[in-house]
Structure 1
């Protein structure tokens, strides 16, 4: 996510929170190579803590962050991608049914759900590309994982976060001249507010950042470069960003675990403000920013 000055979160004032957003419950990746992605996540400090009861799905966790690795493919569905892609973001809300109805009333497209016996029906709307936005209100003492997942024996269900890492935000690639459209989408449906253009985090300066009304999530929209040649204009959720109080210390700890970082590419290099991991066949890239909170 972008760089320079840290914006004063209070400068936005008390944002209205019509959906009752409380943060992110989980990020879901879809992949035909779940072990490969799992290896990447474990090097970042995540641990597999539970398996889905009826599907090829694993839950990884560290601290308050949950990542779902989904390798389940229904018979009629197209092949899963080899390279992991963000398939969904599950948003914590005060009332999932109310949030879902409100989103539909404002023009969101519903995602038909197909659940097995004894599985939860989690409401969802269409996001960018083929991604989904879920609404979850079962958190804390009794969560969605208590219904749909079985704990892995002998595993700590709450592994601590490496370097006090927290989920910071999501990076979304958008098409040419689509900034206004997507800004309006997140503002109208979820109550996100656009930060000033000069407000940036991390080491990547392009794009516009939206802040959630609950103050826990940032959504970065990045358009293709105007002068780019043969640019891929596919719209998608590209990567997730983690916040840490000390980027260099976290990077050092992750390098010791085998994680590689981009050191010189398009002006991107690791520094105190942020870092980006090098994408490879072992998994997608991830971003780290100095926690402004």
Structure 2
């Protein structure tokens, strides 16, 4: 969320050095939140709680709830217009947005538009902040947020749930590791160019692999602080047929220092993991079963500062 609409021109932070780093042109500094759109917020909330997230705040004017653990924020958006649009009227939840932390949201937004990104018109209501955004895969949104330290975007738009710890600890050291994106046949190079041109996110060598789901191409995002780096995984289908609109953000990857310990802790909360001959829990990673028709979480062995 930018201060563009919050403060007059003379009161904003200067733009100097905002885009000076060639390796990190928009000043990326990690993921601020992942947003799910759903018409079944209670059911999705139960799944998130099994993954260690806790509801900590509710939006002032919309059917939106903030879930958190450690430094990770997940937004559940059940506002009728948003939920119906992002899920196309289906019951299965959809990852509808990713918010990226950047040094200066206004400058990052302009940088992306100058390089061909499509802007997302926003229509904030009274007392709501206006977060600049561009279009991502499958109708999703990519937000730019520069208020994530002492003053955050949630301080304006959300009301804390009484009696709830606003900073619940992360279960077994969970942290954001990456996002998996399904793409169309022959579209890998298109998406690699998109992420590299707009964000300085580069593909890594094919021999570098993480977790137990190695398909596709891996990309690493730069970050102002190394501990905030994250990965993108773009995966083409194995068959030469793709249904219209099938490109999408498919699942969230969570890093953890000890996968086996994390699986034990999450199973104690009710989460179930895939255990088949082909896909099963091991020290490198694990993957949850699919909930509500679309919600999947992947665990990847990762120290916070080792990506």
* Distance in structure 2 (CA, Å) of the matches to 1:268 and 1:28: 27
Q: Is the 8 A contact 1:73 1:80 kept in 2?
A: no
Taking the TM superposition and a 5 Å limit, the aligned residue runs for 1:1-293 are: 16-74=23-81, 78=85, 80-214=89-223, 215=226, 216-226=229-239, 232=243, 234-264=246-276, 267-281=278-292, 284-292=295-303, 293=306
* Distance in structure 2 (CA, Å) of the matches to 1:31 and 1:82: 7
What is the SS of the residue equivalent to 2:138? coil
Q: Deviations over 1:141-184 (max 9, x none)?
A: 11100100000000000000000110000000000010000000
Q: Deviations over 1:181-204 (max 9, x none)?
A: 000000000100100011110001
Quickly say closer, same or farther: Cα 1:195–1:99, change in 2 above 3 A.
Answer: same
Q: Deviations over 1:72-125 (max 9, x none)?
A: 023996464311110000000010000000000000000000100111000000
* Distance in structure 2 (CA, Å) of the matches to 1:106 and 1:193: 16
How far off its partner does 1:280 sit? 2.7
Q: Which runs of 5+ in 2 are unaligned?
A: 1-20
* Distance in structure 2 (CA, Å) of the matches to 1:218 and 1:124: 20
* Distance in structure 2 (CA, Å) of the matches to 1:232 and 1:290: 33
* Distance in structure 1 (CA, Å) of the matches to 2:83 and 2:147: 30
Alignment TM-score, normalising by the size of structure 2: 0.86
Q: Is the 8 A contact 2:36 2:75 kept in 1?
A: yes
Quickly say closer, same or farther: Cα 1:206–1:115, change in 2 above 3 A.
Answer: same
Moved over 6 A (4+): none
* Distance in structure 2 (CA, Å) of the matches to 1:80 and 1:264: 32
* Distance in structure 2 (CA, Å) of the matches to 1:192 and 1:283: 26
* Distance in structure 1 (CA, Å) of the matches to 2:83 and 2:219: 36
* Distance in structure 2 (CA, Å) of the matches to 1:15 and 1:232: 38
* Distance in structure 2 (CA, Å) of the matches to 1:107 and 1:135: 16
Q: Is the 8 A contact 2:37 2:96 kept in 1?
A: yes
What is the SS of the residue equivalent to 2:237? coil
Q: Is the 8 A contact 2:203 2:218 kept in 1?
A: yes
Q: Is the 8 A contact 1:174 1:224 kept in 2?
A: yes
Quickly say closer, same or farther: Cα 1:77–1:290, change in 2 above 3 A.
Answer: closer
* Distance in structure 1 (CA, Å) of the matches to 2:295 and 2:222: 28
Number of equivalent positions: 277
Alignment TM-score, normalising by the size of structure 1: 0.90
